[in-house]
A and B are shown apart, each in its own frame.
Chain A
Amino acid sequence: MSGDNRHGRIDGNGASPKPPPVEVVLGSNPFVDALAGEVDPLDAWLIALDRLAAGGEAVVPARPVAAASRTTAATPVPQPSPIAEPYAPEPEPAVPQGTFARLIGEEANQKLAALLGRIDGWDRFGLSRAGLAQAFPFFYAMYKLYFRVQSHDHEKIPAEGPIVLAANHGGLLPFDGAMAVLDVLLHTDPPRLPRAIVERWAGTLPFVNVFFARVGQVVGTHENFARLLGDGEAVLVFPEGVEGIRKPITQRYRLQRFHVGFVEHALRARAPIVPMAILGSDDQAPILFDVKPLARLLGLPAAPITPTFPWFGPLGLLPYPVRYRIVYGEPLRFHERFDPEAAHDPGLVRALANQVRRAIQALIDKNRA
Chain B
Amino acid sequence: MNSVLVTHADLPLGLRIVKVLWHDPTVSRILALGEGAIPRAFNPYRAGVTPRLVYERIDLARQRSVSELFRSKRMRVLGVDSVVYVPRHGAAPEGPPVVAKIPARTAEARLVLHHALETRSIRSLVALGSAFVYKLEPGNANQLTERSELDLDPEIAPELRSWIDSDMLFHAEFASARLRVLLLRVPAVVASGGFIYLHPGLEGAAGMRVRPAGFDPLCSVISDKDVARAVRAALQADTKGVFNVAAREVVPLSVLGRWTRRPCIPVPGPLLAIASGAVARFGGEQLRGRFEGPYLRYGMSLDTRRAAEAFGFTPRYRVGVARAGDGVMRVEAVAI
Contact = CB atoms under 8 A, between A and B. Distances in A.
- Label chain B's interface by main secondary structure: mixed
B323 A22 contact: yes
Interface in A160-219: 200-210, 212-213, 218-219
Contacts of B140: 125-126, 203, 209-210, 212-213, 219
Interface stretch (B51-59, B107-115, B159-167, B249-257): B249-257
B218 A124 contact: yes
A4 B214 CA distance: 37
A218 B139 CA distance: 8
A95 B203 CA distance: 37
Contact of B91 (A1, A12, A63, A121): A12
Contacts of A227: 143
Interface of A: 1-2, 4-8, 10-14, 17, 19-25, 30-31, 33-35, 37-38, 40-42, 63-64, 66-72, 79, 81-83, 121-126, 200-210, 212-213, 218-219, 221, 223-224, 227
Contact of A20 (B137, B299, B324): B324
A71 B324 CA distance: 9
Given A124-B141, A209-B138, A20 B325 contact: yes
Interface in B211-253: 212-216, 218, 224-225, 249-252
Interface in B97-129: none
Interface in B248-307: 249-252, 254-255, 258, 263, 266, 269, 285, 297-299, 301
Nearest to A41: B254
Given A200-B139, A219-B140, A12 B329 contact: no
Among B13, B212, B323, B325, find the residue whose CB has the most chain A CB atoms closer than 10 A: B323
- Label chain A's interface by main secondary structure: loop
B135 to A, nearest CB: 12
Contacts of B11: 10
Contact of B332 (A30, A40, A125): A30
B205 interface: yes
A250 B249 CA distance: 48
A74 B333 CA distance: 23
Contacts of A210: 140, 214-216
A200 B137 CA distance: 8
Given A42-B216, A79-B327, A124-B143, A8 B191 contact: yes
B73 to A, nearest CB: 31
A200 B298 CA distance: 12
Contacts of B224: 7
B78 interface: no
A228 B260 CA distance: 31
Contacts of A218: 139, 141
B139 A5 contact: no
12 contacts: A10-B12, A10-B90, A11-B12, A12-B206, A22-B324, A37-B329, A38-B329, A66-B327, A203-B139, A206-B214, A219-B138, A223-B143
A21 B184 CA distance: 31
A54 B290 CA distance: 39
B91 A19 contact: no
Interface residues of B, number: 63
Please give me the 7 A-B residue pairs with the lowest Cβ-Cβ distance, nearest first: A206-B214, A19-B193, A219-B139, A203-B139, A203-B138, A7-B12, A30-B322
Nearest to A126: B140
Given A2-B192, A2-B225, A14-B91, A7 B16 contact: yes
Contacts of B250: 122-124, 126
Contacts of B142: 221
Contacts of B333: 2
B328 interface: yes
Contacts of B251: 121-122
B79 interface: no
A32 to B, nearest CB: 9
B151 to A, nearest CB: 16
B128 to A, nearest CB: 15
A223 B90 CA distance: 34
Given A10-B15, A13-B205, A224-B143, 7 more contacts: A7-B195, A66-B328, A79-B323, A204-B138, A207-B214, A219-B138, A224-B141
B321 interface: yes
A350 B47 CA distance: 72
Given A11-B91, A12-B206, A126-B140, A63 B321 contact: no
B141 to A, nearest CB: 4
Contact of B138 (A19, A30, A125, A200): A200
Given A30-B323, A203-B137, A5 B215 contact: no
A20 B13 CA distance: 20
Contact of B325 (A7, A21, A34, A122): A21
A23 B323 CA distance: 7
Given A20-B326, A126-B299, A6 B15 contact: yes
A204 to B, nearest CB: 4
A11 B90 contact: yes
